[in-house]
Amino acid sequence: MLNFINSPQVYTINQVPKVFHEDSIISGYRYPRNSAIDCILSLFRMTNETLNIWTHFLPTWYFLWKLATVVLMQTAWTDSFTWPLVVFLLSCCIYPLASSCAHTFSSMSVSMRHICFFFDYAGLSFYSLGSAIVYWAYAFPDKWVNSSFHQYYITIAVINTIVCTTLACYSRLGLTFLQNVHDVRRRLLENQSPKFSKSLRIVAFAYPYLFDNIPLFYRVFLCAGEGCTDNGANILHYYHIALSFLTAFLFATHLPERLAPGSFDYIGHSHQLFHVCAILGTHFQMQAIEQDMLTRRPWLTSNFIPITFINTLAPALFCVVLNLIIIAFYSIPLLRASARRE
């Protein structure tokens, strides 16, 4: 194990509070009351979080480059047809950045750990909305374009985004803080029912993904004949779907570390693997969307309603604001509890 700079030592699972425990990860834990500087320094020391951070931080710059390419080189400001792609690429930048920051600073305190992951969950739910907006604009099969489902698809996706963030945050904190703010951290849902908490998070992220992909599942698996939009992007959509299900499998099963606890503490545990699969899936998703956008533009321009601020950028901004409100709603009791303890 290589350490690039001197930083605080790592600990075993028995040396840190239960809230910091990870299933089947025995060693490599950081000190649970690190400063922000210590958290940053831990990026350059091998812990069980190091690769979790880098596997999402580095791809953030790739997606930022893609976003800059679209905004600066494809005249996105004057071409409303590219706005859904801009929203999607922005969500592709936000979710890995939020994740890497959450893993970086989650060892500052118990309260900060939960708050960091609230932002992580909001980033994922915003990515879900970005995917829905770009599917609505470019990926619906021809025969579904302008259908009733197509017309209400974005509205439902916005609702799903808010439900996703709320349910994911609830899976950590519950609502017991409304009854007793003085004892909020002991009464956390994640502490009381860890399996139920994990199940809620799986549902929170699986449901919007499955809804967003209804038109795609139909297009690549079920549709036959005229109006099915069978083009070169379909194979890329297959790759994305396969990697998405592999990502969910790794997240839910904690394999391979569950088979050999302690053997994958630093390299190769499920969280690292599902980060990699998620990024690869997003890459193929982006390629498929770009190909759909380019090849289908003439047909969509002639047969689809105009793409405007109201049906692309406005839902995204609305969800950003609501997600921040949800994060504040769940974070303020934790911060108050921390302040009372100090």
Residue 229 sits in which domain range?
A: 53-95+110-341
Taking residues 314-322, what's their average pLDDT? 97
Indicate whether 15 belongs to any domain. no
Q: Which residues pair with 276 in a beta bridge?
A: none
Indicate whether 249 belongs to any domain. yes
Indicate whether 87 belongs to any domain. yes
- 241-267: per-residue pLDDT in tens? 999 999 999 999 999 999 999 999 999
Indicate whether 130 belongs to any domain. yes
Indicate whether 291 belongs to any domain. yes
User: Do 67 and 27 contact (CB within 8 A), yes or no?
Assistant: no
- pTM for the model: 0.93
Residue 185: pLDDT over 90: no
> Distance between CA 142 and CA 106 in Å, rounded?
45
Taking residues 61-82, what's their average pLDDT? 87
Q: Is pLDDT larger for residue 57 or for residue 188?
A: 57
Indicate whether 12 belongs to any domain. no
Give the pLDDT score at 341: 60
Residue 3 has φ and ψ, to the nearest 5°, of: -115, 125
Give the pLDDT score at 337: 74
Taking residues 106-129, what's their average pLDDT? 95
Instruction: Return mean pLDDT, the chain.
Output: 91
Residue 339: pLDDT over 80: no
| Residues of the chain above pLDDT 70, percent | 91
Indicate whether 5 belongs to any domain. no
User: Do 213 and 241 contact (CB within 8 A), yes or no?
Assistant: yes
Indicate whether 103 belongs to any domain. no
Residue 94: pLDDT over 50: yes
> Distance between CA 149 and CA 339 in Å, rounded?
48
CA dihedral 271, 277, 283, 285 (to 10 degrees): -110
Domains contained in the chain, number: 1
> Distance between CA 313 and CA 296 in Å, rounded?
21
Give the pLDDT score at 1: 43
Taking residues 10-25, what's their average pLDDT? 93
Taking residues 64-69, what's their average pLDDT? 94
- 136-182: per-residue pLDDT in tens? 999 999 999 999 999 999 999 999 999 999 999 998 887 655 555 55
Angle between helices 270-303 and 110-134 (to 10 degrees): 30
